[in-house]
Amino acid sequence: MYPLLALAISVLIALFMDGIAVQYRDLTQRYQSQIRQMQVVALAENIEQFYMETTSLPADLGYLASSFGFEHIRGNFDNWQGYAISPVLNDGVWEFTRSVLFSKNPTTGVTSAIYLASNACGTGSFHSALSWCGSKDSRWFRRETRERYNEQITTQRVRMIRMLQKFSDYYNVHSSFPQKDNFGVDLALNSISKLSTLVGYSGTATDCSGTFHFMNVPVDCGDMFDQWGGHIGYQFVSGKRIMLTSETPIFNTSGNRVVVASEYDYTMF
């Protein structure tokens, strides 16, 4: 009897310990899943911040981590993550690129290539589909440059209107828009000059600081350069009409660069 009782107790203990092991395993998997999710969220926030600051997507996570102000993200890397950027895609309105950050479920054994070739919300791979989603059993973040194009164009036009208002104030005093370059030479009608050249600044948008003057009109760095770091052009049509232009890095479906322009025209008055 005692041997049978001991055996029964041993079996119960084994079952109990196995139950505890299963609970610990499930708990560990749950914690690992939560950690992977938090890592993806943290990295996604930094990819988004990088895009907002530079209007470009990081080439890879290593490049992102080596960029100034983003060094701290190294602590969020693990071997289950993947990151990719598509070639230029065309949706019939814009040319755009897509980036995706993902963390695969370790139990599936799916490679990054297989993961990117699948599409949970359409047909075609990550590199070619006009609409693409990651798998349901993964954590993923997608950023497409086209998602911000309208916002970026609108923002740039608002910045130009701010500069045009300064020129309008000048016109109200002098009955003419500024028409001499940094050396006092008259601008030719319909000529286009960089605002940075007109104020005598030869540096880049990154190095720019302070306020400059173009015929006593105050011009700051945000007036001389667009949000992509490109030059703002000052088109002197006539003393009564001017235009500000920005050649953006955005391309339409035909492959033509989008130009943002705003003007003041007093010829009708």
Q: Is 123 helix (H, G, I), strand (E, B) or coil?
A: coil
129-134: long-range pairs with CB below 8 Å, 24+: 130/89, 130/91, 132/98, 132/100, 134/100, 134/102
Tokens of 70: 């983003």
* Residue in 186, 204, 189 with CA at minimum distance from that of residue 242: 189
What pTM value is reported for the model?
A: 0.78
Alpha carbon distance 87, 57 (integer Å):
12
pLDDT, one tens digit per residue, over 72-106 is 888 888 878 889 999 999 999 999 999 999 988 76
pLDDT, one tens digit per residue, over 182-237 is 888 999 999 999 999 999 999 999 899 999 999 999 999 999 999 999 999 999 99
**Which residue do the tokens 């490049």 mark?**
63
pLDDT at 165: 96
pLDDT at 26: 47
pLDDT, one tens digit per residue, over 26-79 is 444 455 557 677 888 889 899 999 998 888 899 999 999 999 999 988 888 887
Q: Which residue has the higher pLDDT, 127 or 12?
A: 127
- Considering Cα of 243, then 233, then 209, then 227, what sign does the dihedral take? positive
pLDDT, one tens digit per residue, over 100-149 is 999 887 677 788 899 999 999 989 999 999 999 998 888 899 999 999 99
